[in-house]
Amino acid sequence: MALVFLYRTTKDSVYLDAARRTTSFLVNQAWDETLAVFPYESPSPTPESRHLTYFFDTGIIIRSLIAVWQETGEGRLLDVASAAAHGMSAFWTGRDYHAILTLPDKTPLPRTAQWSTSPGCYQAKSALAWWEVAAITGDEKLRRDYLDMIESGIHTCRGFLAGANERLKIMDRLHAYSYFLEALSPVLDKPECVKTYAAVLDEAARYLRELAPEFSRSDVYAQILRARVRASHVIPLNSAAAREEADALVGFQMESPDPRFDGGFVFGQRRGVLSPHVNPVSTTFAIQALEMWRAYQAGEADACLQSPI
């Protein structure tokens, strides 16, 4: 999705070409049509890699296929996206969704205290895939499944941060917590969703500021800034807070004679010392957040409507 966002922003076909190469690999090599899943790694299994599939990663892949399909109209992308969206039902337990399954038997891995190995409101970002496929195909089951995930998240999200067993690990959970804000973005015409969105945004921003002197992540700054702009048509935007977040985010960007690092964003900082590596997820989130903030300030009406990477 990041490559499609860069293509739409810059109109440079090099990004769309790269996105098409990526999706070609996903649908022609990575996709397991028999199991209707995307294995976590390809080729898999190997002596170095367990044979797994992740709920969250599957949804992100589907959304990427849809984004490229919207630009190219390649039918196979939509076909695989729809099949994979229905294949995610393998994660369903009857009350929630397992985070990780083994393959080929689709047995769930044991859940741990680590947020990414357990179900939670963050999974709703991947459920956006169901909403996006349904919007194109008219698939009512996928649409209902997305809305059910949102309803569940509304009732459970406020306890998500309490799962951190150490104070500074709240920062890592803020990253996942912000995924729920992104998941809510298509349904901000519903009062209950707006109310939850505002409460989660305020809580996330408060914890970010409390923890930042000791530890902060650039992607959390980016996610919160994006969330402010994305909802500014229904929730008054706190310009002072947004400007503070944008300024802090820029502070994570690197200048380097090495083109691999120049312009990239580092993962985070501890007590003012930046981490020594550029992170691709942090970088793409930051690019979109800063572009949305620029567009909002310029009065561009579609700044609020961009789909989160």
Tens of pLDDT, residues 233-259: 999 999 999 999 999 999 999 999 999
pLDDT of residue 184: 97
Could you please report the per-residue DSSP string of 96-125? SB-SEEETTT-PBPPP-SSGGGS--GGGHH
Q: How far apart are CA 122 and CA 265, in angstroms?
A: 23
The pLDDT tens digits for 6-26 are: 999 999 999 999 999 999 999
Q: pTM score > 0.85 for this model? A: yes
* H or E, element range at 60: helix 55-72
Tell me the Cα Rg of the chain.
19
Helix (H, G, I), strand (E, B) or coil at 178: helix
Residue 49 has pLDDT above 70, yes or no: no
Residue 164 has pLDDT above 90, yes or no: no
Selection from 235, 226, 123, 224 nearest residue 180 by Cα:
123
Q: How far apart are CA 298 and CA 125, in angstroms?
A: 28
**Burial class of 98 by CB neighbour count within 10 A (0 to 12, 13 to 18, 19+):** buried
